[in-house]
Structure 1
Amino acid sequence: MRRYLLTYSYIGSNFRGVQKNLDLEDKLKGDPESVQGILEIAIKRFKPANCPKVVVSSRTDIGVHALENSAHVDLDHPQVDCPTWPEYMLYGMNRYFSKAHADLWIKNIQAVPDTFHARFSAKSRTYLYRLAILKPCQCQDAINQYSISVPMGEWKRCCFIGNSNFDVDKVRKAASFFIGLKDFQAFTRPASHHPEGYSTIRHINEMTITPGLPMINSIHDSRYNLYNFWDIVVNAKSFCYRQVRRMVAVLIAVAQNKIELDEVKLMIEDPQNNGWNPRATTAPPHGLFLTKVEYDPQDLIIPKQTEEETTKEIRSICD
């Protein structure tokens, strides 16, 4: 039995989120509509002796993308000691995803110690939220999100806002309130929906708002010229359910003068009496990308056998 770390990318538009649905009548039934489920289906094609269970590091919602997510899996297979086995798995899994028309790609597979855990060993996670704000010089009679002009290259890859009222200085000021150890109770699901003992306290290491770039050069699509792109990047060890999308929603509301800076501070400093502000609408999932899950390099190194263990192993083979 050997444990492997998988790093992979995916477009979440056609997945029902990362976490698989368990069929209570047939617990071994596959779930190709989830990232976790289709990873397990691909691994089972190598016919391991055990039933592989993929443990994901980050359970992104439906519609959220990942430039790099990670997971671990334990495999009992005759070839696990072969040096080229990870490369063979990577090739086989990507070939399967291509044939299955799954928007998922394995970036790397490596053997790791049995003590490694994709979720609990993670030191931090970094998310990117992409915004496109209508330029002040443009005028669109946008009734709703479906009537604004969106470049096709950005479809379901960015959140487009057809309102040029966007104060970046206020956004950065509001973002500074999130930094550090805070209670994000107001930025996630109600307490009644959490398991007993669940904490909504999280430490945000960094949150930045910088000018972004379109995915395709504007010379190929003039609609890109209608917008200014902004990247919101946030890093922490872990996040509450929908926390990132709700933080972004509050930043957008602040930028458009729907919520005052003092109201944001109260949501963080006194969430018991200042819950979610209804003037902010949770940002859509398609603008969100998980870009990195970081680990301590030492946690990925398999300890070398001691001389005594090696000697015993050689003797057992000779006997």
Structure 2
Amino acid sequence: MGPSGAVRSVRARYLVYFQYLGTGFNGVAAVRGSQRAIGVQNYLEEAAERLNSVEPVRFTISSRTDAGVHALSNTAHLDVQRRPGQPPFSPEVVAQALNTHLRHPAIRVLQVFRVPSDFHARHAATSRTYLYRLATGCPGPDQLPVFERNLCWALRTDRLDVPAMQEAAMHLLGTHDFSAFQSAGSPAASPVRTLRRASVSPGPTSPFVLPQENRKLHFWTLEFESQSFLYRQVRRMTAVLVAVGLGVLTPTQVRVILESQDPLGKYQAHPAPAHGLFLKSVLYGGLRDLGKRQHHPSRLGLP
């Protein structure tokens, strides 16, 4: 309380975990102005208006995703400044308010945590994991179950050489200049990244596949983990690994592509479709995976 007796308003920062089905959005980032396109962030900030913050609430997104890309769990931080004399909202109240006022059914807030005022959702992230879903045994996208459309890349083949894909993925592991897998328009200052994990494995059977289709329709999952990725890096790596699975490339040619640092090469220049890609998780030092965390305020630097 100052000399005049006035009570200052308190600004509280929150970390928000949210998920969305990316179909129909122009990506996660807000689209400002009068364009007809709209991002996930537009709906989140519209819902946050109901928190009646003194200053407009803006979401700082940890991981930008393109149009059509989905997220099982993305994150963002936001500040809420209540009027003088009003205590900060609890994280539970913020989560409930956002979900109550979200006007799009393809977005859901998973959880909210109070974080220090200098916490940054993008800069503080220590790990990001993306997964990509493939389907084989399908003559074309129109032959997929309607519930799987826009959720995987339907390949016009009955089989993939998965061991060859796994061997090729090993060439991508470690710290490299990933210029060959970077699309134009990347804001990254350096193309060097460290890929901690790259896996290719059978995916779970879809519950939406009819019994008579089960014998021919199979799903595959590619997963990639790094602290950060270049623009469309995951989709370009996926396209090259699929080329290996189809027998178009050999595993050793993937290393040649990587070392070429050429983003305009025949196989890496055409990213895999956006609709098969999911941001799976964003992790932070001192925090655990969303499904495993047991938080205590002191672990976030709060009293």
TM range (shorter): 0.7 to 0.9
With over 3 angstroms needed to count, the CA separation of the structure-2 counterparts of 1:22 and 1:217, relative to structure 1, is closer
Residues 253, 280 of structure 1: 8 Å contact kept: no
Matched with 1:108 is: 111
Report SS of the residue matched to 1:49: coil
Report the equivalent of 1:11. 21
CA contact (8 A) 2:147 2:208 kept: no
CA deviation string 1:232-291 (max 9, x = no partner): 11100000011101101001111112223332111112315x843248742111111111
C-alpha displacement of 1:165: 4.2
Q: What SS does structure 2 have at the residue aligned with 1:269? A: helix
Q: TM-score, normalised by structure 1?
A: 0.81
Aligned position for 1:212: 203
| Aligned-residue offset at 1:228 | 1.9
Post-superposition offset of 1:91: 1.6
Partner in structure 1 of residue 285 of structure 2: 296
> 1:223 and 2:213 equivalent?
yes
Deviates more, 1:206-215 or 1:29-38: 29-38
Of 179, 182, 188, the residue aligned with 2:173 is 179
- Measured in 1, the distance between the counterparts of 2:218 and 2:123 equals 38
| Structure with greater helix percent | 1
Percent identity for Structure 1 against Structure 2: 33
SS in 1 for 2:132: strand
Cross-structure match for 1:284: 273
* Pair 1:69-2:74 in alignment: yes
Deviation at 1:20, TM superposition (A): 1.4
Q: Which deviates further from its counterpart, 243-252 or 280-289? A: 280-289
Moved more, 259-268 or 201-210: 259-268
Distance in 2 (CA, whole Å) between partners of 1:270 and 1:126 is 25
- Aligned letter for 2:21? I
SS at the partner of 2:207? Answer: coil
How far has the Cα of 1:226 moved from its partner?
Answer: 2.1
Cα distance in 2 between the residues matched to 1:86 and 1:250? 42
Q: How has the CA–CA distance of structure 1 residues 53 and 236 changed in structure 2, closer, same or farther, with 3 Å as cutoff?
A: same
1:34 Cα offset (Å): 0.6
> d(CA) in 2 for partners of 1:194 and 1:92?
35
| Alignment counterpart, residue 63 of structure 2, candidates 40, 51, 58 | 58
- Checking the alignment, whether the CA contact within 8 Å between 2:168 and 2:250 is kept in structure 1 is no
Which residues of structure 1 form unaligned runs of 5+? Answer: 24-28, 135-139, 305-319
1:223 CA drift (Å):
2.9
**Structure 1 pair 59–66 and aligned structure 2 pair: CA distance change class (3 A):** same
The answer to whether the Cα contact below 8 Å between 1:125 and 1:235 also exists between their aligned partners in 2 is yes
Show the 5 A alignment for 1:151-170.
151-170=145-164
Q: Are the equivalent residues in 2 in contact too, given 1:185–1:271 (CA < 8 A)?
A: yes
> Is contact 2:48-2:57 (8 Å) kept?
yes
1:178 positional shift? 0.6
| Whole-Å separation in 2 of the counterparts to 1:132 and 1:257 | 17
Q: 1:187-206 residue pairs with structure 2 within 5 A?
A: 187-190=181-184, 193-195=185-187, 198-206=189-197
Deviations 1:286-309 (A, max 9, x none): 1111111000127961343xxxxx
Greater mean alpha carbon deviation, residues 209-218 or residues 3-12: 209-218
Given that 1:159 and 1:287 are in contact with CA atoms closer than 8 Å, whether structure 2 keeps it comes out as yes
Counterpart of 2:127 in structure 1 is 124
Q: Which of 54, 58, 62 is the aligned partner of 1:49?
A: 54
C-alpha distance in 2 between matches for 1:80 and 1:66: 34
Give the Cα–Cα distance (whole angstroms) in 1 for the partners of residues 54 and 109 of structure 2: 22
Alignment partners' CA distance in 2, 1:123 and 1:80: 34
Check conservation: 2:115, 2:302, Cα contact below 8 A.
no
Corresponding position: 1:236 with 2:236: no
